[in-house]
Amino acid sequence: MADEKQNQLHSVENEDRSVRSLDGRTSLNPEAMTEARSEARSETRSDAKSDTQIFDSRFFQKVSRLRVAIARKSTLSYQGRRKTSYKGNSAEFSDFREYLPGDDLRRIDWNVYARLDKPYIREYMEEREGAVNLFLDLSASMGFWGKDVLSKQLAGAVAVAALSNLDRISLSLIEEDRLSQLRLSGGKNNCKRALKALEDAKMQGNGDLADAIRHVPYLPPGISILISDFMQESFLEKGEELCRYLKYRGQKVILMQILAKEEQVIEEFGTYELVDAEGAFEPVRISLDEKTVSGYEKEMTAFLKEVERIAEQSGADHYLCSTKDGFERVLTETLRMLWA
């Protein structure tokens, strides 16, 4: 099995070659390292995915009781389960106010009237639906080492939790700088439509989150969740501006960063031919030794700190979701603050 794996990766360990990275430096760049994949591994991935069911009965058992925490005030006019500052007809008491001509006499609290000798009516919280906006990066770098499965499962978990609690969702799938959007009203009947769209989505090509999201025409106040590895030069350059823009549009911004175990910890040494899945670089052979791996790990650490800085400076929340932890642990531990 190990020999087969080495052959698939075009290993040429015994050759005496100098170390080089995709950006021409002696240490590996994490963006280049992540985007560069072997053709054989891509074929293996396609075969494995056909046998994987992303949304099974266990998935529904894990997410059926979740509820997305939305701190933003709901301004949507449709009935739901989110408490608002508007007065309505729910069962949750809000406050008393003095009776005014034209008020419904059935709302007068006669006990208060007996004590104060003045009529007061009881007011209740109005319940409206919340708005959850999901943005999923479909660039090719998201399609390897289980990142595609984990990202779809997390997007599906948020969608099912929101729809099951009568919240409205907008599911945006981003490929290149284009965005396809599916808007669904609250209710469990729409869960299958959201999950079907996620199952059919293919990670391919380049991605530009910043430009695509800026072109979304309608964003009701709520929560916006960006699901990506964020290994895009455009995001590193414009990510802070993007998050501030979403906050201006009334959004609580969540950066859900998806990384594979293989991207965080390199355990294989040797010389490999790497092929960039997104087509930005020519195929290149690179030798992995302790010095090279150490350089890569330093750059990966710097990259993660930059994403954290973008989140901190723009007031967004950042969650690092790794395939090494698995879907259930990420859902219940890493993202525990996401659920109400």
Residue that has been written with the tokens 């099951």 in this structure: 164
CA 277 to CA 220: how far, in whole Å?
A: 35
Q: Domain ranges for the chain, please list them.
A: 2-72+130-338, 80-128
Residue 52: predicted pLDDT: 56
Q: What is the chain's Cα-based Rg?
A: 25
Using the predicted structure, report yes or no on whether residue 295 has a pLDDT greater than 60. Answer: yes
Q: 334, 319 in Cβ contact below 8 A?
A: yes
Yes or no: say if 104 and 53 are a contact pair by the CB < 8 Å rule: no
Q: What is the pTM of this model?
A: 0.71
Give 44's pLDDT tier (boundaries 50, 70, 90). Answer: very low
The top-scoring range by mean pLDDT among 10-24, 104-118, 228-242, 266-280 is: 228-242
Q: How many other C-beta atoms are found inside a 10 Å radius of the C-beta of residue 74?
A: 25
- Residue predicted with more confidence, 340 or 39: 340
Residue 117 is predicted with a pLDDT of 84
Higher pLDDT, 36 or 129: 129
Q: Do you know the residue count of the chain?
A: 340
Sheet holding 178-184, edge to edge: 178-184, 168-175, 131-137, 222-228, 251-259, 317-322
Percentage of the chain beyond pLDDT 90 is 28
Mean pLDDT of 128-133: 78
Give the closest residue to 224 by CA, choosing from 199, 206, 249: 249
CATH code assigned to 2-72+130-338: 3.40.50.410
Which range, 156-160, 258-262, 305-309, has the best average confidence (pLDDT)?
A: 305-309
Q: Rounded to a whole number, what is the largest CA-CA distance in the chain?
A: 97
Matching residue, tokens 């998201």: 142
